A and B are shown apart, each in its own frame.
Chain A
Amino acid sequence: MKIIASITALLIFISLYLIFGYARIEGTMLEVQKIFYYHVSAALTVFVAFGVNCVFSIKYLIQRKPNDDLLAVAAAELGIVFCTIALLSGPIWARYAWNTWWNWEARLTSTLVLWLMYIGYFILRSALEGDRRRLYSAVLGIIAYLDVPIVYYAVDIWHGGLHPDRGTKWSLEPTMRYTWMVALIALILLFTFLLIVRYRMKKAQARYEAIQQQYLTEASS
């Protein structure tokens, strides 16, 4: 755990140095383009986070182990955090690049829908209890994940949007590409670290609730 935390912290510092001190300044958007490194990395981390949620939701439906549900919830929570980052940093970039804070183009809209679906996931969880909560949220987690490929391929499906093609980030100038890769690895590691922390907390919370329930049952009998 300490090793992941140390590597994550180191990579974040390195990525910030690379962003502000190493990567070449892009010719059209100049310094504003540097938002790209964390904005795009956060957006890709969202796919990983909701992917983890989907995998463990499926696993829960097959094996019915409560721990799978806890891991799925932790991943969904972090997915929302990273999605919020992508949704908030994007408009700042858009204001400069497209002269508008928001545009109802395919990728932006589908990302907002994704965020709203996982907010709905937590609203559903808060409305239910026990096995029903785990079961219904696992089903919703799998359904919500169907929006991820739509977000990813939105620029290909609906042409004419403001976002560039999917392949653009791979054809970046070398210093920009290396910087982006380091930022992406740093954010995925940060996600992994926070996922472990959150999962452990959720597990402790579940154990506490089980002990409390047992104590209350014993006290009443």
Chain B
Amino acid sequence: MKIAVLVSFLAVLIIFFFVAQVPITLTPNEVAKAVSEATSESGVAVDEEVLEQAVQLSVAKLEKGQRTRLKYLASAYLIIWLVFILYVLYLERQQQELDKRLAQLEQASHNA
């Protein structure tokens, strides 16, 4: 049972790792390309440098927000699994104690 809980805990971490890769991460090059495409498509004269800076700032802000949210999400699920793991470890200890006491009783009855 302990193995099953540990495996599921690992599964949560793996799933979380993959989900955390999805975020809206954009490189400066991607931003520059998107800005130049948008300005050329719209045909309106804009200061590309200022626009690029504004977009990059917005993306950085969005990324920061998402990182914070993912931290909250990860913490919650880690705590949930930690409680389960601690409980299973507690059960395991109880079982070991009972096995030990049974073995002692068996030994005592043999000696008698």
Q: Which residues of A contact B (CB under 8 A)?
A: 5, 9, 12-13, 16-17, 20-21, 29-32, 34-35, 38-39, 42, 81, 84-85, 88-89, 92-93, 95-96, 194, 197-198, 201, 204-205, 208, 211-212, 215, 219
Contacts and interface: CB of A to CB of B under 8 A. Distances in A.
Contacts of B77: 35, 38
Interface string B58-102: 000000001011101101110110011001000100110010011
Contacts of B79: 85, 88-89, 92
Interface of B: 1, 4, 8, 11-12, 15-16, 18-19, 66, 68-70, 72-73, 75-77, 79-80, 83-84, 87, 91, 94-95, 98, 101-102, 105, 108-109, 112
Contact of A31 (B1, B11, B69): B69
B11 A13 contact: yes
A197 B98 contact: no
Given A20-B16, A32-B69, A13 B87 contact: no
A201 B80 CA distance: 24
Given A20-B16, A88-B79, A96-B72, A201 B91 contact: yes
> Interface majority SS on B: helix, strand, loop or mixed?
helix
A95 to B, nearest CB: 7
Contacts of B8: 9, 12-13
Contacts of A31: 66, 69-70, 72-73
Contacts, number: 84
A17 B11 CA distance: 10
Contacts of A21: 15, 19
Contact of A211 (B11, B80, B91, B105): B105
Nearest to B75: A92
A185 to B, nearest CB: 16
A43 B73 CA distance: 18
14 contacts: A16-B15, A30-B69, A31-B66, A31-B73, A38-B76, A42-B80, A88-B80, A89-B79, A96-B68, A194-B87, A201-B91, A212-B101, A212-B105, A219-B112
